[in-house]
Chains A and B, each alone.
Chain A
């Protein structure tokens, strides 16, 4: 009997399929709640997986994480509250489509391209796992520094309409990320004596504040600007709309998938960074740049393709070398050890049917995503029928609970409120909040890799360009930095000539 047939036998058992389905429903539920991440959903599942057999346990975690990542898009699009950090990259795009009555189209696109992205990531996982993992492990602090800076640069200069204000937003996020003890000598920094701030700013609380609380404040302060409720138009048969979207945006989908797979395979990078980078690249190369930020489905397609593809490829270093690609695979590695499936090269040699069973589970989970995801969209879009004056207080209650639930302390509710007010003021002044979120997320990665690289190179800045991949990433980043500067100087020169 071939390995694949043995693997199929392992998966096609009722207890495995039941575990996958129930975990998928749970993932949808958790991902759709603001403040609760895909990582939390998987972490909550851990005690249950101890009672399952290894394949059912891994299956439950795979399907739960895939669903949670997609489900994060539902509150992001309907209420402008990203369920997960990965959804934050294109939350505004989806929300503006909802305000135009196109929630079904936005969510349908997210669902389809999430599933296709997930399947692409699985295919890469099956075909190229060992070789991709080898490349990923060659990344040193120099490459990670440039990768983080490239992600931040893209968010500030490319995805934001006004590069200068995008940079301002990014610097606000990076500055907030310096709070706490995550620094070279682990000394308290900018915590103003607060014990709660020693661990840094709670990212989830900040995320909820910047998006959700800012939106509630806008609704409260400007009643004349807000509709009573948001009427929606139906796109009819979703499969027909999908066919059209696939035909129109197949380039975006492929580009997003490839980017997602590459970024996801890098240890520590993951789906969040992949989504942000994909959105920036999509905007940069789009023929309809002006439509970005106004509710354009193209940005959603590329980002959502990337984040679900990254989910599959994050398992590459985890399975091949036992190095987690993101926080979810870090938890999964622990569960694999408990079940005696020690990650590493031996996993492919001893009982290879187990690893093929994991690949099959990925395929099942992504097919299940379409079925359950569509059901979730059909149910959740009814939220929009509810009058906003009734909905907004309930969302605030959810936000308060979600911010509290992260660390079980009320301090994070304060963090949420501060970032909510900050987000409101930023947006009122044309400063986009998205780069700020990415700055907060990547600040620590950027600083630690910068300091490590400086120590390695003994202060020699040219060392940042001494390795081929590092040099490539560095040059690309510098080009993006210089481009708006050149454009601004040119614009000023043209204006002066006209006035003279």
Chain B
């Protein structure tokens, strides 16, 4: 009896052909960049050798993905299930570390992490009455654990005297 395969294709999924093509292009770029690296190592085994070998393997892998996609065409019919993505929440998660990179050296640890927690909890639809105390408590607890217990220095605000 022939097995029936059902493939779930979600919102961010691309075909093996596209994936293989991306792989081949990225490998070609890496291989080209590797050839521009300075030589000078004994026996001609310089910093370019390993990346060039990797790019060759990556090109072969990419071609493998493309070939497999072509071989599977017609035999497999994917059942597409579109999942609705919540872009606002996703953007908030990506924006939080970016904000931390920019703000932490100036505002210090607490004034960076506290707003991040408040923003994320608000975007994730937590109740407002618990957001502020939980965010404050977590900021203090993480800071205390890292500074006092683990002896890891965390940045302080440059404009505050303490």
Q: Using CB atoms and an 8 Å cutoff, list the residues of chain A in contact with chain B.
A: 29-30, 33, 36, 40, 44, 164-165, 167-168, 171, 174-175, 178, 183-185, 187, 189-190, 213, 216-217, 220-225, 387, 389-390, 392-394, 396-398, 400-401, 404-405, 408, 410-411, 413-414, 416-417, 420-421, 424-425, 428-431, 446-447, 450-451, 454-455, 458-459, 488, 492, 495, 499
Supply 28 A–B pairs (Cβ within 8 Å), ascending by A.
A33-B145, A33-B150, A168-B19, A175-B54, A183-B46, A183-B50, A185-B38, A189-B47, A220-B90, A390-B124, A393-B135, A394-B134, A397-B113, A397-B139, A397-B142, A398-B142, A400-B97, A401-B113, A404-B104, A404-B154, A405-B146, A408-B153, A428-B10, A428-B13, A454-B43, A454-B49, A455-B43, A459-B43
Chain A residue, CB-CB nearest to B114: A397
Please tell me if the beta carbons of A220 and B92 are within 8 angstroms of each other in the complex. Answer: yes
How many residues belonging to B are interface residues under a CB distance threshold of 8 Å? 72
Task: Give chain B residues whose Cβ lies under 8 Å from the Cβ of A164.
Answer: 61, 64-65, 68
B12 within 8 A of A: yes
User: In the assembly, what is the distance between CA of A488 and CA of B150, in Å?
Assistant: 51
Contact of A455 among B42, B87, B98 (CB under 8 A): B42
Chain A residue, CB-CB nearest to B134: A390
Task: Name the distance in Å between A129's Cβ and chain B's nearest Cβ.
Answer: 33
Contacts between chains A and B (CB distance < 8 A), count: 183
Chain A residue, CB-CB nearest to B10: A428
Task: Give chain A residues whose Cβ lies under 8 Å from the Cβ of B117.
Answer: 393-394, 397
Per-residue interface assignment for chain B, residues 32 to 52, with 1 indicating a CB less than 8 Å from any chain A CB and 0 otherwise: 010001101111011101110
Task: Give chain B residues whose Cβ lies under 8 Å from the Cβ of A394.
Answer: 117, 134, 138
Please tell me if the beta carbons of B50 and A178 are within 8 angstroms of each other in the complex. Answer: yes
Chain B residue, CB-CB nearest to A30: B150
Please tell me if the beta carbons of B54 and A171 are within 8 angstroms of each other in the complex. Answer: yes
User: In the assembly, what is the distance between CA of A151 and CA of B161, in Å?
Assistant: 52
* Known interface pairs A175-B58, A217-B93, A393-B124; A224-B151 also in contact (CB < 8 Å): no
Please tell me if the beta carbons of A429 and B14 are within 8 angstroms of each other in the complex. Answer: yes
Task: Give chain A residues whose Cβ lies under 8 Å from the Cβ of B68.
Answer: 164, 488
User: In the assembly, what is the distance between CA of A392 and CA of B138, in Å?
Assistant: 12
Task: Name the distance in Å between A318's Cβ and chain B's nearest Cβ.
Answer: 25
Contact of B86 among A220, A410, A429 (CB under 8 A): A220
Chain A residue, CB-CB nearest to B141: A394
Interface centre among B19, B130, B134 (most CB of A within 10 A): B19
User: In the assembly, what is the distance between CA of A187 and CA of B51, in Å?
Assistant: 14
User: In the assembly, what is the distance between CA of A393 and CA of B89, in Å?
Assistant: 11
Please tell me if the beta carbons of B97 and A417 are within 8 angstroms of each other in the complex. Answer: yes
B149 within 8 A of A: yes
Task: Give chain B residues whose Cβ lies under 8 Å from the Cβ of A458.
Answer: 43
Please tell me if the beta carbons of B113 and A185 are within 8 angstroms of each other in the complex. Answer: no
Per-residue interface assignment for chain B, residues 133 to 162, with 1 indicating a CB less than 8 Å from any chain A CB and 0 otherwise: 011001100100110011111100000000
* Known interface pairs A389-B121, A393-B124; A178-B54 also in contact (CB < 8 Å): yes
* Known interface pairs A33-B145, A187-B37, A397-B117; A389-B47 also in contact (CB < 8 Å): no
B100 within 8 A of A: yes
Chain A residue, CB-CB nearest to B39: A185
Task: Give chain B residues whose Cβ lies under 8 Å from the Cβ of A401.
Answer: 109, 113, 142, 146, 154
B30 within 8 A of A: yes
* Known interface pairs A220-B89, A495-B75; A183-B47 also in contact (CB < 8 Å): yes
Task: Name the distance in Å between B84's Cβ and chain A's nearest Cβ.
Answer: 7
Task: Name the distance in Å between A168's Cβ and chain B's nearest Cβ.
Answer: 5
Task: Name the distance in Å between B9's Cβ and chain A's nearest Cβ.
Answer: 10
Task: Give chain B residues whose Cβ lies under 8 Å from the Cβ of A430.
Answer: 13
Per-residue interface assignment for chain B, residues 56 to 76, with 1 indicating a CB less than 8 Å from any chain A CB and 0 otherwise: 011001101100100100010
Per-residue interface assignment for chain B, residues 108 to 120, with 1 indicating a CB less than 8 Å from any chain A CB and 0 otherwise: 0100010011001
User: In the assembly, what is the distance between CA of A373 and CA of B134, in Å?
Assistant: 27
Interface centre among A401, A446, A488 (most CB of B within 10 A): A401
Please tell me if the beta carbons of B83 and A225 are within 8 angstroms of each other in the complex. Answer: yes
User: In the assembly, what is the distance between CA of A393 and CA of B154, in Å?
Assistant: 19
Interface centre among B51, B93, B96, B100 (most CB of A within 10 A): B93
B125 within 8 A of A: yes
Task: Name the distance in Å between A60's Cβ and chain B's nearest Cβ.
Answer: 16
Task: Give chain A residues whose Cβ lies under 8 Å from the Cβ of B87.
Answer: 221
Please tell me if the beta carbons of A389 and B125 are within 8 angstroms of each other in the complex. Answer: yes
B80 within 8 A of A: no
* Known interface pairs A184-B45, A410-B104, A417-B97; A171-B124 also in contact (CB < 8 Å): no
* Nearest 8 CB-CB pairings of A with B: A393-B120, A183-B47, A220-B89, A389-B124, A428-B12, A221-B90, A417-B97, A447-B50
Task: Name the distance in Å between A494's Cβ and chain B's nearest Cβ.
Answer: 12
Task: Give chain A residues whose Cβ lies under 8 Å from the Cβ of B6.
Answer: none
Task: Name the distance in Å between A119's Cβ and chain B's nearest Cβ.
Answer: 29
Task: Give chain B residues whose Cβ lies under 8 Å from the Cβ of A424.
Answer: 12
Chain A residue, CB-CB nearest to B89: A220
* Known interface pairs A396-B96, A455-B43; A224-B83 also in contact (CB < 8 Å): yes
User: In the assembly, what is the distance between CA of A129 and CA of B117, in Å?
Assistant: 51
Chain B residue, CB-CB nearest to A459: B43
Please tell me if the beta carbons of A454 and B19 are within 8 angstroms of each other in the complex. Answer: no
Task: Give chain A residues whose Cβ lies under 8 Å from the Cβ of B150.
Answer: 30, 33, 36, 40, 44, 405
Task: Give chain B residues whose Cβ lies under 8 Å from the Cβ of A404.
Answer: 100, 104, 154
* Known interface pairs A220-B93, A225-B83, A400-B97; A389-B50 also in contact (CB < 8 Å): no
User: In the assembly, what is the distance between CA of A165 and CA of B61, in Å?
Assistant: 8
Chain A residue, CB-CB nearest to B90: A221
Contact of A417 among B23, B50, B98, B120 (CB under 8 A): B98
Task: Name the distance in Å between A414's Cβ and chain B's nearest Cβ.
Answer: 6
Please tell me if the beta carbons of A429 and B13 are within 8 angstroms of each other in the complex. Answer: yes
B25 within 8 A of A: no
B1 within 8 A of A: no
User: In the assembly, what is the distance between CA of A33 and CA of B19, in Å?
Assistant: 35
Task: Give chain A residues whose Cβ lies under 8 Å from the Cβ of B3.
Answer: none
User: In the assembly, what is the distance between CA of A424 and CA of B134, in Å?
Assistant: 28
